[in-house]
Amino acid sequence: MDTEQVDKVIKKAGCAFCAGNCGVLVEVKDGKVSRITGNKEHALTLGNVCERVGYGSKWLYHPDQLMRPLKRAGGRGEGKWEEVDWDQALDEIAGKLGDIREKYGPESLVVTEGTYRSGMFWMRSRFLNLFGNPQNVAHAGVICFLNCYAINMAMLGGCCSLAANIGRSNCTVVWGQNPYSSFPRTMASIKRRKEDENYKIIVIDPRQTETTDIADIWLQPRPGTDTALAMGWLNVIINEELYDKEFVEKWTFGFEQLKERVQEYTPAKVAGICRVDQDKIIAAARMYATSKPACIVRGVAVDQIGRNAARVEQSRVILRAITGNLDVRGGDLIPDVGPEVDGNLFRREVVLELDDKLPAEKKPKQIGADVFKVMGWQAYGLTSEPYEKLTGQPEPVGHRLAASPPLTWRAILTEKPYPVKAMITWGSNPLMWAANTKLVYEAMKSKNLELHVVMDFWKTPTAELADFILPVSSWMERPLCSTFEDLTDVVFGGERAVQPLGERKDDYAIWRELGVRLGQEEYWPWEKIEDAIQYQLEPLGMTYEEFTDDGYIRGGREYKKYEKNGFPTATGKVELYSTVFEKLGYDPLSYYEEPPESPVSTPEVAKDYPLILNTGGRFMPMFHSEHRQLGIGMRERHPDPLTDIHPETAKSLGISEGDWVYIETRRGRIKQKARLNPGILLDVVNVEASWWFPEMDGAEPSLHGLWESNANVLTLDDPESCDPLTGGWCNRALLCRVYKV
């Protein structure tokens, strides 16, 4: 037996290069990750992985990965840092947080977060609750599913927007997503199902993609008009009586009001709004309603259209409900309250968050809760009461609440409604994901912000403006235990493949050590994250080792759970007419509203900015603002930021393939490379998001090329342009012009 074989071990980990948590096998040779492949024995993810895992080893051992805590040694953005030890960093941070809490109140701290990944968000909530903070988490999720989750909870007391049962459906609608790039596992399911010639796919996307290429019907609406399209489908389905009469009768509330409302959305009118052929709209609606069971896969695209975003999801929930596709085999499943084994329930994140420790008078202080009410504690109160009554369990909190990011930046700058003095940026890069980069930058540079701590792997543009950067361990260096913050009734697990590199610490260790320094010691009994996971597993009688070896826990699948006790809403039914929205002062029924900046709503702007700007879409092998470092292979595969433009439009502007072009809105200008795409609408351009350049100077004015190609220099976050229910801002359906550099 050779030594190489002796030193090689295979670890079963959970990938977190995106939110998928695919089960992977990490080969560790001589203590170092050497190769990562899909774990075919993982019963939930079946060995499906995307190309990102192939870069894992080079990513982990890249020389720019941070290994020690850094403290700012010059002005913010001067690029001067000193290495400090953990005790010094955590003592100073905790000391400052304590002073700020004393002087300005616990609400003066904000946590910012990016895409859901780490799997263990309860530790952040636990820290904040014990700190007395009203969950001021300024979350990118406001335009990436958290909004949908809140809408679902309001309408049916569960979430039907996450688990489309593609493998057993006869028709799948893919709405505003290209799973090839954003969720490869979904694409794999669609392709497997596609082998059956009776299976139908409908795709709604203004841009031709790998998914539109396999569609039976591809609808290409004008960006931002999705609610009109959905209401048009409802018009057809209701007026042609294609809905499930028994389900509607027994299990929905407000059908007559809905029926009246959808009369405003005739196929002819909708065709005009969306610029889609009327017959195609009717054909798609009929196909969806009659190919039972059917499911709808949602992407984040329409979460990002501003004022009308929540109404798209409201309309989609109505479509699923009235066609009888809710919680049926092959339809849109509603996860149970958590995995249960032999009647014992896994301890979910909500159990660990300690929401009961947050004083009630603090809750209304959550930033934006009085404006974007569906994401706040008041709405949570309305949904959690029937939820708890029916299920006997607390309603998960994590995905229900978010502070408004646009209002957070403004609060830092204006000290209104109260001073925000400290920010912890946790695995996040708001200078890339948040709209209106200039404002975010001003907030981060503001003297009003007395403490900014970034937890990350790299010196990102956001980290360059911090006071401390704390190096965190990646998914290969820590275990995984994820219920997606209680979104699902399965738990994804994985073991540590290698010990943290350098002096990196895992997220749990950092939150705990900060908490202990702030007087929370009695509430952090588990010394390490493995012990906390063991506590979650305890009711199931399962060990940590058994859990990570399986890689998942899944309870039994039950369909049509509502038939037992109804839906956990105030009416016990799916609320097509939402009593929650009504109580919060919103229109209880869905309706269409033009995007805040469009050829129709702002024709005077369109004269100077004639093209429709879309941004925020994902592309391989990047994930949001990650993977731009040279030397890993991902950047080499996709070296430059690309803007898709129709060849005819490009020709009229004197632009050729590969030309650098400026993209300009009323808010700013960036440059990217033109990619001619005959599959995009003539007046639409698609601009890649989140571009920064780690190889460029990290100090100001460059900040790793922050202002060069970053699409959020162009986007809009005025509060009045945001979705009034959830606060989602505009990455899409804006107006721009494009010209050659």
- Residues binding ligand SF4 (CB under 6 A): 15, 17-18, 20-22, 49-50, 52-53, 184
In the complex, the smallest distance separating the C-beta of residue 101 from ligand SF4, rounded to whole angstroms, is 37
Q: Where are the strands (E) in 279-368, listed by range?
A: 294-298, 332-333, 340-341, 344-345
Which H or E run includes 84? none
In the complex, the smallest distance separating the C-beta of residue 184 from ligand SF4, rounded to whole angstroms, is 5
Q: Which two tokens stand for residue 63?
A: 């020389």
Closest to ligand SF4 by CB, 21 vs 315, is 21
In the complex, the smallest distance separating the C-beta of residue 207 from ligand SF4, rounded to whole angstroms, is 21
Which H or E run includes 323? none
Prior bond of 621 cis (ω within 30°): yes
Closest to ligand SF4 by CB, 355 vs 495, is 495
Alpha carbon separation from 33 to 7, 18, 545 (Å, rounded): 12, 19, 20
Q: Residues 6 or more apart from 293 whose CB is under 8 A from it? A: 165, 168, 169, 170, 171, 325, 328, 329, 330, 331
Helix, strand, or coil (residue 583) = helix
Closest to ligand SF4 by CB, 46 vs 516, is 46
DSSP string, 501-513: STT-B-HHHHHHH
**How many angstroms separate the CA atoms of 220 and 176, rounded?**
10
Closest to ligand SF4 by CB, 15 vs 231, is 15
**How many angstroms separate the CA atoms of 359 and 406, rounded?**
25
Provide the phi-psi class of 188: left if phi over 0, else alpha when psi is between -120 and 50, else beta: alpha
Closest to ligand SF4 by CB, 179 vs 461, is 179
**How many angstroms separate the CA atoms of 653 and 529, rounded?**
56
Taking alpha carbons only, the member of 719, 681, 721, 714 closest to residue 595 is 721
Q: Are 717 and 666 in contact (CB under 8 A)?
A: no
In the complex, the smallest distance separating the C-beta of residue 549 from ligand SF4, rounded to whole angstroms, is 19
In the complex, the smallest distance separating the C-beta of residue 686 from ligand SF4, rounded to whole angstroms, is 22
Closest to ligand SF4 by CB, 26 vs 663, is 26
Q: Are 48 and 188 in contact (CB under 8 A)?
A: yes
Closest to ligand SF4 by CB, 389 vs 637, is 637
Between strands 422-426 and 109-113, the pairing is: parallel
Closest to ligand SF4 by CB, 416 vs 637, is 637
Helix, strand, or coil (residue 730) = strand
**How many angstroms separate the CA atoms of 12 and 112, rounded?**
30
Closest to ligand SF4 by CB, 13 vs 397, is 13
In the complex, the smallest distance separating the C-beta of residue 623 from ligand SF4, rounded to whole angstroms, is 7
Torsion of CA 277, 280, 282, 287, to 10 degrees: -170
Closest to ligand SF4 by CB, 220 vs 690, is 690
Phi then psi for residue 460, to 5 deg, are: -85, 170
Torsion of CA 194, 199, 205, 209, to 10 degrees: 20
Helical axes 146-156 vs 377-391, angle rounded to 10°: 50
In the complex, the smallest distance separating the C-beta of residue 165 from ligand SF4, rounded to whole angstroms, is 19
Tell me the β-bridge partners of 670: 663
Closest to ligand SF4 by CB, 18 vs 97, is 18
In the complex, the smallest distance separating the C-beta of residue 458 from ligand SF4, rounded to whole angstroms, is 17
Tell me the β-bridge partners of 494: 480
In the complex, the smallest distance separating the C-beta of residue 192 from ligand SF4, rounded to whole angstroms, is 16
Give the dihedral sign, CA 594/600/602/608. positive
Q: Are 215 and 676 in contact (CB under 8 A)?
A: no
In the complex, the smallest distance separating the C-beta of residue 181 from ligand SF4, rounded to whole angstroms, is 10
Q: Are 661 and 649 in contact (CB under 8 A)?
A: no
Residue type, position 623, single letter: F
In the complex, the smallest distance separating the C-beta of residue 25 from ligand SF4, rounded to whole angstroms, is 12
Alpha carbon separation from 674 to 18, 602, 630, 653, 735 (Å, rounded): 27, 26, 22, 12, 17
In the complex, the smallest distance separating the C-beta of residue 52 from ligand SF4, rounded to whole angstroms, is 4
Prior bond of 417 cis (ω within 30°): yes
**Number of helical (H) and strand (E) elements in the chain, helices listed first:** 27, 29
In the complex, the smallest distance separating the C-beta of residue 21 from ligand SF4, rounded to whole angstroms, is 6
Prior bond of 293 cis (ω within 30°): yes
SS3 content of the chain, % helix, strand, coil (to 5): 35, 20, 45
Tell me the β-bridge partners of 36: 26
Residue type, position 576, single letter: L
Closest to ligand SF4 by CB, 634 vs 725, is 634
Residue type, position 725, single letter: L
Residue type, position 218, single letter: W
Closest to ligand SF4 by CB, 482 vs 731, is 482
In the complex, the smallest distance separating the C-beta of residue 641 from ligand SF4, rounded to whole angstroms, is 20
Closest to ligand SF4 by CB, 17 vs 426, is 17
Closest to ligand SF4 by CB, 182 vs 665, is 182
Closest to ligand SF4 by CB, 17 vs 544, is 17
**How many angstroms separate the CA atoms of 114 and 102, rounded?**
28
Closest to ligand SF4 by CB, 117 vs 732, is 117
In the complex, the smallest distance separating the C-beta of residue 48 from ligand SF4, rounded to whole angstroms, is 7
